[in-house]
Structure 1
Amino acid sequence: MDFYVKQRVFSFNDQFTVFDHNQEAVYNVDGKFFSLGNQLAITTTDGQPVLQIKQKLFSFLPRYTISNDEKELCSVAKKMTFFRAKYEIEPLNWSIEGSLFDHHYRVMEGQTEIMAVEKQWLSWGDTYHLTIHDDRHQTIGVALMIVLDMVHHQSKNNGN
């Protein structure tokens, strides 16, 4: 299933709208203003909570947790690499690999691709195209893409 994640331009905190392949909005992503570390909530378009993303503070490399109302689903940790992006997603035993410069990423479980992410270059604001191969991974896939965007902007703002 294909999704398009578009960052809302001219907002003070991180805000995204997630569209399906028919360009119909299916999720909203809103960041908390004045929070310690990044904290975002993914909701349906009618405001029902889906997932929360929280940055773990005091970590040498970026680390985020993704949870629902009941429990933490996974932790996403950036790994030290040069010229490539690499993340580990535990306890799912998934990984994210990609190009820092082209903004192409693949979420893998061993040799199986779970999701592909590609940044759309000629768009107003950051826009990403997600191809999620299994509908069961739809919301976690959207959350992972948001984490990738946050880490990318954090490192760009830090001069890394």
Structure 2
Amino acid sequence: MFVIRERFFAIGDDFDVLDEHGNKVYRVDGKVLSVRNKVVIEDVNGDEVASVHRQIIALRATYEIQIGGEKAAEVRKKLFTPFRDKFTIDVPGPDDLTMKGDLLDHEYVIELGGDEVAAVSKRWLTIRDTYAVQVAAGINPLLIIGSVLALDLALERSERSSDE
């Protein structure tokens, strides 16, 4: 279990990632000058372990996740999914994941071959954005955390464009 919590008074999309005991395991630095299109995940020593960035040239919103400097996945929103958000987490090889959820409740599941491997809940009761993330054994938590951050970037981007 992880909690991804937006930092109070932060410039950009900065989050802390806590384990089930409340210990900080990662720091997420939303690069201010990247127009919210890139976040860097750092370990407790400040070393980059992963990043998420929006691919500029893509037909639909696409975010690339890199873990340890290597491309780990692309997260793409499905085009036609009324009343539900649905994203593909395209990993190298045949084992792509699907992230789907409810627009209103901000509850998401991530599936591999139809089996749930992670659950994401965005808590409404806090002032800051907070996600509770449950990850199944055998699944790289950085892949799931990166996917949640890509989801957050995509939803924030779509909210900004609908406000304009």
Separation in structure 2 between the aligned mates of residue 61 and residue 83 of structure 1, nearest angstrom = 18
8 Å contact from structure 2 (residues 117, 139) kept in 1: no
Aligned counterparts of 2:84 and 2:66: Cα–Cα separation in 1: 27
Q: Distance in 2 between matches of 1:37 and 1:15?
A: 10
What residue in structure 2 maps to residue 31 of structure 1? 30
CA distance in 1 between counterparts of 2:123 and 2:138 reads 22
How far does the alpha carbon of each residue in 1:31-87 deviate from its partner, in whole angstroms, 9 at most, with x for none?
222126611110112112211111001323210000124421111100112110011
Aligned to 2:90: 90
Contact 2:13/2:36 (<8 A) preserved: no
Distance across 2 between alignment mates of 1:96 and 1:105: 7
1:158 counterpart SS class: helix
* Correspondence list, 1:4-153, <5 A: 4-35=3-34, 38-80=37-79, 81-91=81-91, 92-134=95-137, 136-153=139-156
The alignment-based identity, stated in percent, is: 29
Please report the RMSD computed on the Cα atoms of aligned residues, expressed in angstroms. Answer: 1.6
Q: Distance in 1 between matches of 2:110 and 2:137?
A: 12
- Tell me the amino acid that sits aligned with residue 57 of structure 1: I
- Number of equivalenced pairs: 159
What are the Cα deviations for residues 110-140 of structure 1, in whole angstroms up to 9, with x where unaligned?
A: 2211100001111120001000012542111
Offset of 1:22 from its aligned partner? 0.7
Q: Cα offset for 1:28?
A: 0.4
TM-score relative to the length of structure 2: 0.90
AA at the equivalent of 1:62: A
Q: What is the rounded CA distance, in whole Å, between the counterparts of 1:107 and 1:69 in structure 2?
A: 22
Contact 1:104 1:117 in 2 (8 A): yes
Aligned partner of residue 22 in structure 2, secondary structure: coil
**Gapped regions of structure 2 (runs ≥ 5):** none
